[in-house]
Amino acid sequence: MLDWAELECGYYQGDTKPSSQCLKLADARLLKSHPFYDERGTFEVLWDASLFRRFGFNFNPASSAFSYNEKENTLRGMHYQRPPYCQAKLVTCIRGSVIDVIVDLRPHSPSYMRWAATELTASSALSILIPKGFAHGFLTLTDHATMAYLIEGEYQPSAAGVIRWNDPAFGINWPALNPILAQRDRLAEDFVP
């Protein structure tokens, strides 16, 4: 088990400071926020650029997005951007739950063509910082699952790529055999290095 690295910052109260854990893929991180609770509800910091920069996270989001998914067993992925338009992402589940999967597509990486899966839920306070050069996808475990994204790098339609969700080159162990897929994802081809 990897140790959590505690991030220090003056304005977080009590144990509300976020923390970080390395995933089994090079440069990918699992971030855990520690929400502040009181009688009004919850306050949670998803991203604090100055704090995280002090600890080596060089991530500068240019846009944000939401993905609302009507049905359980919906699979989106595996999507990526080709160089030189690769995008880094910070993803979190803000409603329901998903299995979030990332695949390292960087040819010179020690974790090239390996994958990692993490369950994200609205109550887990977990986010994944996905480096540039990775493919990303997720499978919804509940109806109405909603994902939030912070995205570094501009989307370039001509650089958008998709690999088949069950491509045998990766052997991703999805907990679904017949997911709901968009046509683009259903027609995706196997990855060609």
Determine whether 149 is an active site residue: yes
Closest CA relative to residue 37, chosen from 123, 129, 154: 123
The dihedral built from the CA positions of residue 134, 27, 74 and 147, taken in this order, carries a sign that is negative
Determine whether 79 is an active site residue: yes
Q: What are phi and psi of 168, to 5 degrees?
A: -65, -15
- For residues 47 and 1, what is the distance between their CA atoms, to the nearest angstrom? 24
Q: Among residues 34, 79, 108, 144, which one is catalytic?
A: 79
Task: Tell me which amino acid residue 117 is.
Answer: A
Among all residues, which ones are annotated catalytic? 79, 149
